[in-house]
Amino acid sequence: MPHKTFFWFFFPSGLAMVLFIGLPIISSFFQSLHIEPEQILMEVEKCDPFGCKTETKVDIEATTKLQEEQPLGRFNGLGTYGDRNHLAFDQIKEAWNNSSSMSNFIDILLNLPFYKALLFTLTFCFAVTPPVVILGFIVALSINTLTKSLKGPTIFGVILPMIVTPLIGSLVLFWMIDAKGILGATIQYLFDDPNLSLKSSSQLTWITLIIYGIWHNTPFAFVVFYAALQTVPQDPIEAAIIDGASRYDRVRHIVIPHLYPVATFIILICLMDNFRVLEPIIGFAAEGVAQSLSWMIYNDLRSENKMLFGSAGATSMLTIIGVAFLLTPVLIRTWKEFRTER
């Protein structure tokens, strides 16, 4: 394709990407460098049904004036990035100097909100992605062998978890695993422990969230694999059958190599999606034990006070950096393959 044609072909989507992805990222970055202007407090008399007393209140006039002078807030540089709710440099330094052992240091580190969230986010990513790819592949292979009349309904059933809105899907499961729900009660019966509750311990909640993640993401891998399976060349397969290759051998030596680039694509998308995990945490009411980076952003913007734009912006930037780190190995690999193919 000539460069000029390519440019005009790409221009509309490029423009949309700059407008709707690029500019918001730049704006979040600027916001993350600022914090709210100082709040000016004053003592006033407040009267309510329980009586009158003198209490502190924000001096609205003075504070509004400050806000008008600095609509973005006070410039804080990278201060927000380094505070306790983000990278927590001071706390880490202190912990490093004062902790008695490595495990003590790690305990302190993982107690800091950002690192706690990072640990869950990464665990979720790496626990969900491999099973999704493998399960998606197996399901696609199995459905590919079904007779035509059965295929349609089965495919519909399989992609159902993806169709259901994540929040609704997780809420449905949340009630099913309740101590009195069908799954929760069955598990109690099987383990003969009336106090067993999937919602009460961190480990079990994490496992529940991961299983939910696999359930929700597998259809995506299935759809992509299933589409790719339709492009597997029939000639080498027939040749292999004549040569006496078993079904396993055919899959291992012909189908898998053919689907390899597709698998890379699925891994890429899954890692990216799972790094942004949010809805199941809300649906399962798991904020107490499992916090992700996206949940931190959500929490900053839905706190009961003013929205913490600076803090949310900083976490967003750190999330983008995290996604970039995560994808680098896969991207380098794809690039190398691209180069050798040329």
| Positions that interact with other proteins (CB under 8 A) | 35-39, 41, 44-50, 52, 55-58, 60, 64, 74, 80, 83-85, 91, 111, 113, 174, 178-179, 194-197, 199-202, 284-285, 287-289, 291, 299, 301-308, 310-311
Contact 178, 171 (CB under 8 A): no
Q: Which is nearer to other proteins, 223 or 308 (CB)?
A: 308
> How far apart, in whole angstroms, are the C-alpha atoms of residue 292 and residue 253?
39
**Residue 262 three-state SS:** helix
Single-letter code of the amino acid located at 246:
S
Q: d(Cα 264, Cα 335) in Å, to the nearest integer?
A: 12
Q: Residue length, the chain?
A: 342
Smallest separation (angstroms) from other proteins to the CB of 112: 9
Question: What's the closest the beta carbon of residue 181 comes to other proteins, in angstroms?
Answer: 10
The residues, any chain, with a CB within 8 Å of residue 150's CB and separated by 6 or more, are: none
Closest residue by Cα to residue 237 from 251, 226, 217? 251
Residue 305 burial (10 A CB sphere; 0-12, 13-18, 19+): exposed
In whole angstroms, give the CA distance from residue 254 to residue 242.
Answer: 14
CA dihedral 104, 106, 108, 113 (to 10 degrees): -160
Q: Which is nearer to other proteins, 84 or 93 (CB)?
A: 84
Torsion angle defined by CA atoms of residues 317, 319, 321 and 322, in that order, rounded to the nearest 10 degrees:
170
Please, which residue, 31 or 319, has the CB nearer to other proteins? 31
Query: 171 vs 263, which CB is nearer to other proteins?
Result: 171
C-alpha to C-alpha distance for 56 and 154, rounded to whole angstroms = 64
Distance of CA 147 to the CA centre of its chain: 37
Consecutive H or E run containing 44 = strand 41-48
Nearer to other proteins, 73 or 236 (CB): 73
Phi, psi of 48 (to 5 degrees): -145, -175
Whole-number minimum distance, CB 33 to other proteins, in Å? 12
Q: How many CB atoms lie within 10 A of CB 112?
A: 18
Output the smallest distance, CB 59 to other proteins, in A.
Answer: 10
The CB-of-310 to other proteins minimum distance in angstroms stands at 6
Least distance between other proteins and beta carbon 302 (Å): 4
40 or 269, CB closer to other proteins?
Answer: 40
- Minimum distance between the CB of residue 100 and other proteins, rounded to whole angstroms? 15
The residue (of 94 and 337) whose beta carbon lies closer to other proteins is 94
- Shortest distance in whole angstroms from residue 79 CB to other proteins: 9
